[in-house]
Structure 1
Amino acid sequence: MTLASISFILIIFQFLLEIDAKVSSIIVFGDSSVDSGNNNYIPTILRSNFRPYGRDFDGGRATGRFSNGRVPTDFISEAFGLKKNVPAYLDPSYTIQDFVTGVCFASAGTGYDNLTSQVLNVMPLWREVEYFKEYQSRLREYLGDEKASEILSEALYIISIGTNDFLENYYLLPYRPSQFSIEDYQNYLAGIARNFIKQIYELKARKISLTGLPPMGCLPLERTTNFIFGGNCIDRYNQVAISFNQKLQALVESLNNELTGLQLVLSSPYAGLYDIIQNPHSYGFEYSATACCGTGRFEMGYLCDEYNPFTCPDANKYVFWDSFHPTEKTNGILANYAVRSSLAVFQ
């Protein structure tokens, strides 16, 4: 084990010890940044339930997480004194008993925009809400109304979604650009986010973390498409992310004033991840422009498999696991930062 790996483990262990949890459960909505395996059980090609995905997860299992190990919500759950890994709702190996202190409804490849989910036939956001309603009924049947209501109102709801709406939809397909300017599309998505938060608020959600966009122009896949300009980050994509995050912050402030008892925070990974990408050695990484899996430039999903001879032996040296998703080490650092900053209000 390298010195950087040991330092990373010590940092994570320290922040796990220092958290005094005041939430009952972690309930997750979103995309591949937090999907813990729901896509394994729907008819889509966007899956990661095969090696080398999960090779550094407990037991080396490929669970459907788009990482070599855990995703940020797993670290956050553990930090709040709950389960180490948040289970996927559609995984039949879990029961309602397993979902009492944490459950994930996220689906890799989805977005705020229903059209985004259609690109790779994944769950739209409204379907995640329908499963949440089903979960509530099961929870009430299992625990009774009073206990279930207490858990639902004291749970921390984490929403991590939006990147696919831009990179998989707006900048890839012609339909939305023909309807919206980029600013109008941002406003369109922010409106969907508003309605979604109000919807889960009506379903007892009070403690909510809304995750902003990362520096999506610096993902290895996007840098690969920018090879004519030396493989640098695509600045206009990053500027869109910054602008959208500002709209989300305004949304947070508005809804906190509008909805009684709501504690809504914006948890933005932009600054933290951008700094890691620009200064990888400061965090114990060696590579931030390319990913661990395959050539590290374009592989994701089925292009990232155990037969690819180029996959790196030590993911801890890399900021990114595949061309779109961070390594477990990066996820741990970002979760640590979120717990100590935006999520501190819930401790």
Structure 2
Amino acid sequence: MANNMPSSQIHSRLRCSCSWLLLLVLHFSSSASRAAGGKVPALIVFGDSTVDPGNNNFIPTVARANFPPYGRDFDRGVATGRFSNGRLVTDFLSEAFGLPSSVPAYLDPSYTIDQLATGVSFASGGTGLDDLTANIPSVIPMSQQLEYFSEYKARLKVAKGESAANEIIAEALYIFSIGTNDFIVNYLTFPLRRAQFTPPEYVAYLVGLAEAAVRDAYGLGARKMEFTGLAPFGCIPAARTLNYDDPDECNEEYNRLAVRFNAALQEALRRLNAELVGARVVYAETYSVLSDIVANPSDYGFENVAQGCCGTGLIETSVLCGLDEPLTCEDADKYVFFDSVHPSEQTYRILADHILNTALRVFL
């Protein structure tokens, strides 16, 4: 059928349609921009060496990584105190939320409170949920990390004003990554806790401490929180080396403890979500991802899963890696672990991507 509408009327309608289309595009572009930026103004981190960017450099402990070969693939090859060859999971998460590409250590005096306003880590390598775990290597317990957070809030209010500081605290994303050391540094190594608790009882004790830490953070203003479950720590090179019952293989007894802890932690987080008004606490599952990497390393571009890049790769971590620097591997990206306990930057990158696409999707 022929269209007999005058050309002037057609042009008028086209202009009208284009105008509406432009308004719709501008509206959705503005919405997308607001969703991508400003939803999470800061990343605030509690935990152990998996998320410690260098706090241990400033306390009297041997649990440090502020010397080569640590940090060799970090910006400018600087050993910052991160227990890896490069960045940590939280560094990748920070960047993904449009924040700085690395999360600074709270105790590092080179950072101003203005720099810490977009992210800060209170984590300490070697610590745990159990204060006894922190006492063994003389590092920062969770209770002290929360005290530092309270101090940080006060400093933030002075620097930014109360209203802006309260908004940062309320909208920030809080990451907890802790618990492995309670088993490998404490319960499985020293007799005190084993005399007090059966394995299931100790798991329940630790999960109670995890729940208390989340409640304390909530009391200080935290609302968006993520608690990372334990990885299969029976597969770290050090655990393989010391697995006398099945040499060089993953210690499945250790892994069963991680599975038990993760199940109890998820139940605790469900309770917290039901009880803490206005809070959202998500569980980040890493056990299956690292298990799959260990089982199928070539699928992820890895060549070595049983040894760390540093030294012999069997038992070296922290100061022992520094002593064996000449033996460090050439390409850490081919190794799942950088030392006998801690993942390489490439492994952290994979874990961060997984966490972003699962647990943290609700905050993106």
Same fold per TM (> 0.5)?
A: yes
SS in 1 for 2:325: coil
For 1:145 and 1:230, locate their aligned partners in 2 and report how far apart those are by CA, in whole Å.
57
2:105 to 88, 93, 96: 88
> Does structure 1 residue 225 correspond to structure 2 residue 242?
yes
> Does structure 1 residue 49 correspond to structure 2 residue 33?
no
* Matched residue, 1:6: none
Q: TM-score, normalised by structure 1?
A: 0.93
Shift of residue 308 of structure 1? Answer: 3.2
* Matched residue, 2:39: 22
* Matched residue, 1:9: none
Percent identity between matched residues is: 53
SS in 2 for 1:172: coil
Deviations 1:159-215 (A, max 9, x none): 000000001000000000100001001111111111111111011100000011110
Structure with the greater alpha carbon radius of gyration: 2
Q: Check conservation: 2:68, 2:325, Cα contact below 8 A.
A: no
* Matched residue, 1:15: none
> Does structure 1 residue 273 correspond to structure 2 residue 290?
yes
1:183 to 200, 207, 222: 200
> How much is the aligned-residue C-alpha RMSD, in angstroms?
1.2
Shift of residue 268 of structure 1? Answer: 1.9
* Matched residue, 2:155: 138
Task: Mark the runs of 5 or more structure 1 residues left unpaired by the alignment.
Answer: 1-17
For 1:333 and 1:248, locate their aligned partners in 2 and report how far apart those are by CA, in whole Å.
23
For 2:51 and 2:264, locate their aligned partners in 1 and report how far apart those are by CA, in whole Å.
22
Shift of residue 259 of structure 1? Answer: 0.7
1:151 to 164, 168, 176: 168
Deviations 1:218-264 (A, max 9, x none): 00000000155231100011011011100010011100000111100
Amino acid at match of 2:64: R
After superposition, the Cα gap between the structure-2 partners of 1:311 and 1:160, relative to the gap in structure 1 and judged at 3 Å, is same
For 2:190 and 2:164, locate their aligned partners in 1 and report how far apart those are by CA, in whole Å.
46
* Matched residue, 1:202: 219
Number of residue pairs the alignment of both structures matches:
330
Deviations 1:292-346 (A, max 9, x none): 0001000000100165332101001100000000000000000000001001010
Q: Check conservation: 1:32, 1:107, Cα contact below 8 A.
A: yes
> Does structure 1 residue 77 correspond to structure 2 residue 94?
yes
Q: Check conservation: 2:310, 2:324, Cα contact below 8 A.
A: no
1:215 to 223, 226, 232: 232
Task: Mark the runs of 5 or more structure 2 residues left unpaired by the alignment.
Answer: 1-34
Displaced runs of 4 or more, over 4 A? 18-21
* Matched residue, 1:235: 252
For 2:36 and 2:358, locate their aligned partners in 1 and report how far apart those are by CA, in whole Å.
12
Q: TM-score, normalised by structure 2?
A: 0.89
* Matched residue, 1:300: 317
* Matched residue, 2:339: 322
* Matched residue, 2:356: 339
> Does structure 1 residue 283 correspond to structure 2 residue 300?
yes
For 2:211 and 2:344, locate their aligned partners in 1 and report how far apart those are by CA, in whole Å.
30
| Farther-moved stretch of structure 1 (54-63 vs 189-198) | 189-198
Shift of residue 19 of structure 1? Answer: 6.1
